[in-house]
């Protein structure tokens, strides 16, 4: 068969006209220049440090770090948790490394970062667990925050999709790619918003700016200065809930548990436990409706079997048996994020503090100066901050990311 | 594997290297293998369907080539047509058939098959091979692998351009290394495609999608701008795909045909179809309109043939009645233009020409409203909103609306400049080559910042 499709070209033409080698060099130069430009651009912006600084460790008898997503930062007031865990002469500092949409890939990365920094017996790690965080079908949109030095470790997780693997590895070599969310959200969008304001005033003068033809039937009112924490739902709260439930049901239908995300969680817990660091797997409460929905899916059932087993095998503590009133609907803005205030975030923070108080890690006292950072970490600069300080359609228009302002529809945070 | 994905960039570069380090006589195997890998990356199960199309049509071509009996030849061709159209009917139109007959009380099994990517393209190409061999306009391919390479060549597999077997045949004989000219013109085409997709089409999509999702939430002016934005989005999106496909093919010495020629500068719908998705227009003309009788069987039949061709052309785009309406609208315009004797070249006077261009553009935009909306209800809602005469922009929509206007203007300026600028020959001009290299860096930067949030190419769904 091969002979029938073999060619009869003039071989000399190949030799004389080939631009393959030069082309390849040119491609390599183009890529190198792009990567270098990206690196230089990102250096100029000085991303924030994220791993605990020396002062984090030296000023606290105990450091509790929390790895989680929006369910963590909506349900837990970390400063308050620190206060409730501290006792006179025994200070507990709580740091959260949380971001909307994060999952166990991020927790694994953070576990690798922290395992040599945290002090066994004194410090602890809280890891958010939920079937939704371990859903293999949910594409990880925030892989860009994986630290370059750990990219390979994360990318080599068994079963991780090729596209995610490539995403992580490109992020490791291309700063522009890794920080694209930050560049879009915090650098480009505000500037474009400013341009829109200027143009808006021109339109106003021309009489082309007028009232909207449609008023949203609900609106999420968030707490200023915090990550996306909802204070209240103005307008038709039922409509809001219906929209978010529709999204959740779609997610649950495709939920797949037990693959690479669980492998990441498993490894995250094990690397910390191997260093004797106390690990708490925290499954935050959800509304009863969502709990029933999740528990009814094959993924939810597997989660309920495998996560306790992981805790048992590794000596981690699973915190998921909250009082029944924790699941009351009025505590939640949708079905999984609690409202800001006494009935929601404050309530759960106290519940969590009660469970953590008296745990072994809080009972050990040691000199405050104990623990130091490896020299390579000291210079590390990195950011995990995402959030919604830039709001409005300018951001959405630029990034295509979920809109902050909802016009009667929209997907919930994860 | 989206053209805007990292996998694609890695894949293209890998195949490019593999192709060039492979001895010339084995290069077609590399091309074929990579095309199968490319298709399998979407859904490997549908590879069987793709292979079935190739084998059936190659066998039909082989039998047609060896037969002189007209009845037997007709029978073989009929089989090929039935096979290809049945495949389309089962995989693409069954849902529409199911939804249409269920209200009539006819109960069919619920559709459960997903749409194989690019089926409309590869079914048409495969079918055109059988027809060409039947018509004796080409000799049958000796090996199924040649037909396979023609049908599956990865850059055009998912969304065209729709090529003819005869066009590909001669090129398959030339597995030379890439030349300087081919390398740079290929890179330039890809560059243009990425700029259109990442910077124009994907940005416009962010304006268009919310408006088409809830037309009643927007003012007339916002709706009109969204329709304009969609017109440019679909053009930039589809022509970007074609540019990238053509550019990538050039790195392998395959020249794919142009698919667009500034369609929005058309002075009539007739001219529009000579400039828009040209390879489909030619296919429909050669394999549907002319076999139906074209304009050779009287006026009434001519108009009927135009309508049938355009209605089926509309349906080719998707299994929805709104696509039929879109096709019907274009068919109606073509018929009216024919009836009125509209000159395809357009008027000679500048003002009359611009006037006709504006009119044609708005007729096309009217068609896009039905094309983009999946239901008549939402299309109607949009049309009602446009004629509600609310000519202002509300503050929440200020930025996207203005952004869309700015992008459209920028695109028009660049497109006009690009068209009227006389560029030096690529092979001789170092500055142009350097400009391409710098442009590639800039597009790579755009890919880094925007690539991950890129949308699927619109024509992938067809």
Chain A residues close to B142, C-beta within 8 Å: 4
Contact state of A180 with B400 under an 8 Å Cβ cutoff: no
B220 min Cα distance to partner chain A (Å):
10
Question: Are both B172 and B194 inside the same structural domain?
Answer: no
Q: Mention every residue, 6+ apart, whose C-beta is less than 8 A from residue B36.
A: B47, B152
Number of domains in chain B: 2
Rounded Cα gap, residues A326 and A336, in angstroms = 11
pLDDT given for residue A52 in this prediction: 59
Quick one: pLDDT band at residue A48, thresholds 50, 70, 90? low
Is B364 contained in some domain? no
Q: What angle in degrees, to the nearest 10, is found between the helix axes of B220-250 and B180-194?
A: 160
> Is the Cβ pair B13, A399 closer than 8 Å?
no
| Residue A207 within any structural domain of the chain | no
pLDDT at B17: 94
Q: Residue B84's domain spans which residues?
A: 6-177
Is A205 within 8 Å of chain B by CB?
no
Same domain, B38 and B81: yes
Calculate ∠ Cα B374-B375-B379, nearest 5°: 95
How far does Cα A388 stand from its chain's mean position? 13
Answer whether residue B417 is part of any domain: yes
* A203: number of Cβ within 10 Å: 18
Low-confidence ranges of chain B (pLDDT < 50): none
The reply to whether B112 and B191 lie within a common domain is no
Active-site option among B53, B156, B277, B317: B317
Residues B171 and B85 in one domain: yes
Q: Which residue of B has its CA nearest to A162?
A: B7
Q: Which of B138, B162, B177 is the last residue of a domain?
A: B177
Give the end of a domain, one of B113, B146, B177. B177
| CATH number, domain with residue A150 | 3.40.50.1110
pLDDT given at position B440: 85
**Residue A62: CA count within 13 A, CB half-sphere:** 31
Within 8 A of A163 by CB-CB distance, chain B residues are 5-7
Distance (Å) from the alpha carbon of A370 to chain B's nearest alpha carbon: 41
Q: Are residues B37 and B115 in the same domain?
A: yes
Q: What is the mean pLDDT of residues A367-392?
A: 32
Q: Which domain holds residue A353?
A: 54-187+216-369+376-399
A209 touches chain B (CB under 8 A): yes
Same domain, B87 and B147: yes
First-last CA distance in chain A: 54
Please check whether residue B374 lies inside any domain of the structure: no
* Three-class secondary structure of residue A64 per DSSP: strand
> Which whole number is the average pLDDT over A384-410?
31
- pLDDT band (50, 70, 90) for residue A371: very low
Say if the ipTM goes beyond 0.90. Answer: no
Q: Is residue B453 in a domain?
A: yes
Position A322 in a domain: yes
Position A113 in a domain: yes
- The three-class DSSP label of residue A375 is helix
Q: Is residue A174 part of a domain?
A: yes
A1, part of any domain: no
For the cut 70, the answer to whether the pLDDT of residue A362 exceeds it is no
Residue B18 sits in the same domain as residue B127: yes
Q: CA–CA separation, B359 vs B372, rounded Å?
A: 20
How far apart are the CA of B365 and the nearest CA of chain A, in angstroms?
A: 22
Q: Is B397's CB within 8 Å of A22's CB? A: no
Nearest to B143 among A1, A167, A203 (CB): A1
Q: CB neighbours of A400 closer than 8 A, spacing ≥ 6?
A: B202, B205, B206, B453, B455
Which of A2, A10, A23, A195 is most worth mutating to test chain B (most B CB atoms within 10 A of its CB)? A23
Closest chain A residue by Cα to residue B447: A177
Whether chain B has a CB inside 8 Å of the CB on A31: the answer is yes
Which of B149, B177, B205 is the C-terminal boundary of a domain? B177
- Smallest CA–CA separation between B448 and chain A, in Å? 4
Total domains, chain A: 1
User: Would residue A21 count as lying in a domain?
Assistant: no
The count of other CB atoms within 10 Å of the CB of residue B49 is 19
Q: Any idea how long chain A is?
A: 414
The rounded distance, in Å, linking the Cα atoms of B9 and B3 is: 7
Residue A6 in any domain: the answer is no
Return contacts of A162-169, CB within 8 angstroms, 24+ apart.
A162/B7, A163/A139, A163/B5, A163/B6, A163/B7, A164/A105, A164/A139, A164/A140, A166/B6, A166/B7, A166/B10, A167/A140, A167/A143, A167/B6, A167/B452, A168/A143
DSSP assignment of A146-192 equals S-HHHHHHHHTSTT--HHHHHHHHHHHH-HHHHTHHHIIIIIIHHHH
Q: Is A392 on the interface with B (CB under 8 A)?
A: yes
Residues of chain A above pLDDT 70, percent: 78
B20 labelled catalytic: no
**A102 in Cβ contact with A58 (< 8 Å):** no
What CA–CA distance (Å, rounded) separates A157 from A196? 44
Q: Which residue of A has its CA nearest to B181?
A: A19
Which positions in chain A touch B393 (Cβ < 8 Å)? Answer: 203, 208-210
Judge if B122 and B15 occupy the same domain. yes
Q: Are residues B80 and B125 in the same domain?
A: yes
User: pLDDT band at residue A170, thresholds of 50, 70 and 90?
Assistant: confident
Distance CA A224, CA A51 (A): 25
- A31 part of a folded domain: no
* CB neighbour list of residue A399: distance below 8 Å, 6 or more residues apart: A181, A184, A185, A189, B453
A5·B146 Cβ contact <8 A: yes
Q: What is the DSSP string of A224-258?
A: TTSSS-EEEEEE-HHHHHHHHHHHHHHHHHT---S
Query: Under an 8 A CB cutoff, do A397 and B142 touch?
Result: no
């Amino acid at each position: 068969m091969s002979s029938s499709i073999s060619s009869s070209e003039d071989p000399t033409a190949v030799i004389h006209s080939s631009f393959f080698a030069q082309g390849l060099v040119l491609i390599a130069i183009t890529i190198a220049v792009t990567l270098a430009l990206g690196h230089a651009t990102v250096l100029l912006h000085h991303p924030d440090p994220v791993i605990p600084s020396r002062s984090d460790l030296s000023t606290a008898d105990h450091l509790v770090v929390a790895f989680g997503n929006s369910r963590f930062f909506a349900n837990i007031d970390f400063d308050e948790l620190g206060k409730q865990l501290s006792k006179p002469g025994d200070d507990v500092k709580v740091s959260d490394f949380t971001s909307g949409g994060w999952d166990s890939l991020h927790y694994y990365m953070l576990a690798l970062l922290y395992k040599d920094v945290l002090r066994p017996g004194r410090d602890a790690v809280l890891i958010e667990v939920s079937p939704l965080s371990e859903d293999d079908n949910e594409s990880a949109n925030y892989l860009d925050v994986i630290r370059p030095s750990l990219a390979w470790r994360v990318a080599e997780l068994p079963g991780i999709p090729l596209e995610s693997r490539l995403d992580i590895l490109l992020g490791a070599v291309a700063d522009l790619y890794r920080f694209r969310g930050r560049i879009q959200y915090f650098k480009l969008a505000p500037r474009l918003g400013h341009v829109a304001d200027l143009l808006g005033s021109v339109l106003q003068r021309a009489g082309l700016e007028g009232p909207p033809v449609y008023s949203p039937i609900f609106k999420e009112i968030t707490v200023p200065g915090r990550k996306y924490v909802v204070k209240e739902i103005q307008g038709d709260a039922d409509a809001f809930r219906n929209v978010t439930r529709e999204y959740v049901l779609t997610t649950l239908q495709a939920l797949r548990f037990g693959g690479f995300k669980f492998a990441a969680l498993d490894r995250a817990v094990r690397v910390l436990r191997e260093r004797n660091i106390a690990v708490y797997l925290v499954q935050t409460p959800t509304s009863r409706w969502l709990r029933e929905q999740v528990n009814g899916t094959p993924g939810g059932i597997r989660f309920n079997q495998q996560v306790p087993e992981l805790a048992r095998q590794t000596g981690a503590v699973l915190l998921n048996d909250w009082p029944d009133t924790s699941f009351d609907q009025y505590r939640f803005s949708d079905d999984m994020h609690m409202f800001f205030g006494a009935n929601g975030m404050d309530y759960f923070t106290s519940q969590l503090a009660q469970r953590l108080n008296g745990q072994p890690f809080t009972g050990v006292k040691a000199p405050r100066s104990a623990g130091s950072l490896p020299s390579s970490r000291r210079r590390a600069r990195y950011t995990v901050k995402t959030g919604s300080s830039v709001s409005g359609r300018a951001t959405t228009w630029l990034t295509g990311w979920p809109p902050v302002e909802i016009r009667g529809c929209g997907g919930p945070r994860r | 594997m989206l053209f805007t994905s990292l996998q694609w960039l890695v894949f293209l570069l890998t195949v490019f290297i593999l192709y060039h380090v492979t001895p010339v006589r084995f290069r077609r195997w590399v091309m074929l293998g990579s095309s199968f890998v490319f298709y399998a990356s979407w859904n490997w199960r549908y590879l069987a369907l793709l292979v079935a199309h190739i084998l059936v049509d190659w066998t039909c071509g082989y039998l047609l080539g060896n037969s002189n009996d007209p009845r037997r030849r007709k029978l073989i061709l009929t089989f090929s047509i039935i096979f290809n159209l049945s495949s389309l009917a089962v995989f693409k139109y069954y849902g529409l058939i199911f939804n249409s007959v269920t209200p009539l009380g006819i109960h069919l099994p619920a559709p459960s098959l997903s749409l194989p990517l690019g089926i409309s393209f590869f079914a048409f190409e495969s079918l055109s091979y059988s027809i060409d061999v039947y018509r004796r306009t080409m000799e049958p391919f000796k090996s199924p692998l040649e037909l396979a390479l023609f049908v599956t060549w990865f850059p055009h597999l998912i969304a065209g351009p729709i090529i003819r077997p005869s066009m590909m045949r001669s090129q398959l004989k030339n597995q030379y290394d890439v030349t300087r000219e081919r390398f740079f013109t290929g890179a330039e085409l890809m560059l243009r495609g990425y700029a259109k997709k990442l910077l124009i089409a994907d940005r416009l999509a962010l304006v268009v999608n919310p408006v088409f999702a809830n037309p009643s939430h927007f003012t007339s002016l916002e709706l009109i701008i969204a329709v304009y934005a969609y017109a440019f989005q679909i053009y930039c999106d589809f022509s970007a795909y074609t540019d990238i496909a053509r550019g990538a093919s050039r790195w392998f010495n395959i020249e794919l045909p142009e698919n667009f020629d500034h369609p929005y500068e058309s002075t009539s719908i007739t001219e529009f179809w000579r400039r828009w998705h040209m390879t489909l227009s030619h296919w429909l003309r050669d394999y549907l309109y002319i076999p139906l009788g074209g304009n050779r069987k009287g006026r009434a039949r001519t108009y009927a043939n135009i309508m049938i061709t355009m209605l089926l052309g509309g349906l080719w785009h998707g299994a929805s009645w709104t696509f039929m309406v879109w096709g019907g609208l274009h068919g109606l315009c073509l018929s009216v233009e024919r009836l009125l004797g509209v000159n395809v070249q357009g008027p000679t006077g500048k003002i009359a020409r611009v006037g006709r261009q504006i009119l044609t553009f708005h007729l096309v935009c009217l068609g896009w409203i039905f094309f983009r909306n999946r239901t008549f209800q939402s299309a109607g809602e949009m049309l009602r909103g446009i004629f509600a005469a609310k000519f202002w922009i509300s503050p929440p929509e200020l930025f996207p609306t203005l952004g869309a206007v700015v992008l459209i203007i920028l695109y028009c300026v660049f497109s006009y400049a690009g068209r009227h600028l006389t560029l030096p020959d690529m092979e001789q001009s170092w500055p142009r080559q350097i400009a391409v290299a710098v442009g590639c860096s800039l597009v790579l930067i755009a890919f880094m910042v925007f690539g991950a949030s890129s949308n699927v190419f619109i024509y992938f769904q067809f």
